Chain A
Amino acid sequence: MADSLPEDVWLIRPCEVYKEEYKDCKALFSRLYQHYIDGQKNNCAVWLTDYENCMKFRHKKDLKAAEAVLESERERRKIRLQNAQANDIWEYRKSPPSSWFAPLDLDK
């Protein structure tokens, strides 16, 4: 069974997290914030579907359900990484700044 699991199965979060996200998405206060930030309601049904599929995978080892959750997670990951990479205002470093641990100039 372990061999047939997809490589990126680690992307699936604990199922309870999807339930929490769903409840959080639908809460009145969150709806207000969605209106405040995006100007529209977010699609919360995705979280519920992910939760149900996650539970199917947990209880019945349903690989199709796992794949469905993974599709959602891959999409979210792709969007997040795309947004980060689209920020080309500055040049990214290849190594940390050398002055991070430079001694403080203590002339007190």
Chain B
Amino acid sequence: MAASAKSPTDQDEKQTNENTNANAQKSEDTKEDFGYYFYPDRDKKKKKSFLERAWLREDVHHFKCETHVRSCMESNPKVKLLAGALESYGCPVDVKRHISCETCIRGVSGGFDPKSMQVVLCQNTIQNRDICCNIIGHELLHAFDFCRAKVDFTNLRHLACTEIRAANMFHCSLGASFASGEASFFNIKERHQLCVKNKALQSIRLVRNVTELEAMTVVDEVFDKCYNDTEPIGRRCFKNTGRAKRALEESRNYYDFD
């Protein structure tokens, strides 16, 4: 998967940072696998026995995940906006074909697989509907970039750009920055950019076998252009759904969808 896997959100950030370090190490010992290591069901789905599925509560997680997906696609303004923008570029999102709930290895919440054109959601790590909507939005943004441009996920610059855009629009709320230490009570001014850079860095190192310095250099190189490109949403919206709804209505002037 030359995909942009992302690390889970605020609540689990500290714990999964440790996980992601351990995982990054595993992939350093072997050749580049572009993040497919985290999605064991991608290559071949081996049928798990009933007892194994019951023990892991897989069917329960799968059902919850699919319910969240349906709910997000119907009522979350940012997800609807992304789906509409994708449709207007000729890549309409069919939930059955393009979104897949799977069990992943701990440390990621989702990814976009450009080989099969699917958004993968990790049914075992997504805790609630809001987080699910955020992850769907994040991955659909990668799909949007892939649909409108010849994005090569093996190209570090392209990967950095798409991750910067996703972090810019779906992560790095004030709360998230406080949780991860980029902002504090005495240090808030212009901390959003730092948060976005760190988030993008984290996502890149999760799927690529590169040193921190290499990743930081690439992120800095492409940062300005990618940070200011807020298509298709047009603005940064955080928990404020009013802003997201207004962004959805405004985007009908830029994209052609129902």
A, B: real partners: yes
B229–A83 contact, CB under 8 A?
Answer: yes
Nearest neighbor of A77 in chain B, beta-carbon distance = B253
Cα distance, A108 to B116, chains bound together (Å): 15
| A33-55 at interface with B (beta carbon < 8 Å) | 33, 35-39
In chain A, positions 1-44 with a C-beta closer than 8 Å to chain B are: 10-11, 13, 17, 20-21, 24, 29, 32-33, 35-39
A76 to B254 Cα, complex, angstroms: 12
Check if B242 sits within 8 Å of A36, measured CB to CB: no
Kindly identify, within residues 206 to 258 of chain B, every residue whose CB is under 8 Å from any CB belonging to chain A: 222, 225-226, 228-231, 234, 236, 238, 240, 242-243, 246, 249-250, 253-254
Does B240 contact A87, Cβ atoms closer than 8 Å? no
Q: How far is the CA of A55 from the CA of B161 in the complex (A)?
A: 41
- Beyond A24-B242, A33-B174, A36-B191, whether A89 also contacts B146 by CB under 8 A is no
Which residues from chain B contact A80 at a C-beta distance below 8 Å?
Answer: 230-231, 234, 254
Q: In angstroms, how far is the closest chain A Cβ from the Cβ of B223?
A: 10
Inter-subunit contact B242/A20 (CB<8 Å) = yes
Q: Are A95 and B90 in contact (CB under 8 A)?
A: yes
Q: How many Å from the CB of A89 to the closest CB on chain B?
A: 4
Residues of chain A lying within 8 A (CB to CB) of residue B228: 83, 86-87
Q: Does B138 contact A (CB under 8 A)?
A: no
Interchain CA distance A88-B150 in the complex, whole Å: 11
Given A24-B242, A89-B225: A35 touches B189 (CB 8 Å cut-off): yes
Q: B240, A24: Cβ atoms under 8 Å?
A: yes
User: CA A90 – CA B153 in complex, angstroms?
Assistant: 11
Contact residues in B for A77 (Cβ distance below 8 Å): 253
| Nearest CB of chain B from residue A42's CB, rounded to whole Å | 12
B147 at the interface (CB under 8 A from A): yes
Whether the pair B148, A92 counts as a contact (CB closer than 8 A) is: yes
The answer to whether B147 touches A91 (Cβ under 8 A) is no
CB-CB under 8 A from A93, the residues of chain B are 147-150
Residues of A in contact with B, size category: 35 or more
Docked Cα-Cα span, A32 to B240, in Å, equals 13
B155 to chain A, nearest CB (A): 8
Query: Please, which residues of chain A bring their CB within 8 A of the CB of B174?
Result: 32-33, 36
- Across the interface, A89 reaches (CB within 8 A) one of B157, B191, B231, namely B157
**B161–A89 touching, CB < 8 Å:** yes
Tell whether, in the assembled complex, residue B243 and residue A36 are in contact, meaning their CB atoms are under 8 Å apart.
no
Smallest Cβ-Cβ distance to B231: which chain A residue: A84
Cβ of A24: which chain B residues have Cβ within 8 Å of it?
240, 242-243
Residues of chain A contacted by B63 (CB below 8 angstroms): none
Q: How far is the CA of A88 from the CA of B161 in the complex (A)?
A: 10
Q: A17–B97 contact, CB under 8 A?
A: no
Cross-chain contact A37 with B250 (CB below 8 angstroms): no
Q: Bound state CA distance, A95 and B150, in angstroms?
A: 10
Q: Cβ of A36 and Cβ of B225 under 8 Å apart?
A: no
Interface centre among A17, A24, A37, A107 (most CB of B within 10 A): A37
User: Which of A17, A21, A86, A108 lies in contact with B229, CB distance below 8 A?
Assistant: A86
A83 and B177 alpha carbons, distance in the complex (Å): 25
Instruction: For residue A14, give the distance in angstroms from its CB to the closest CB of chain B.
Output: 9
Q: A13-B250, A36-B192 are in contact. Are A96 and B157 (CB under 8 A)?
A: no
Instruction: Give the 4 A-B residue pairs with the shortest CB-CB distance, closest first.
Output: A96-B90, A87-B229, A108-B45, A39-B190
Query: B residues engaging A (CB < 8 A)?
Result: 44-45, 47, 89-91, 97, 116-118, 145-152, 157-158, 161, 174, 177, 183, 188-193, 222, 225-226, 228-231, 234, 236, 238, 240, 242-243, 246, 249-250, 253-254
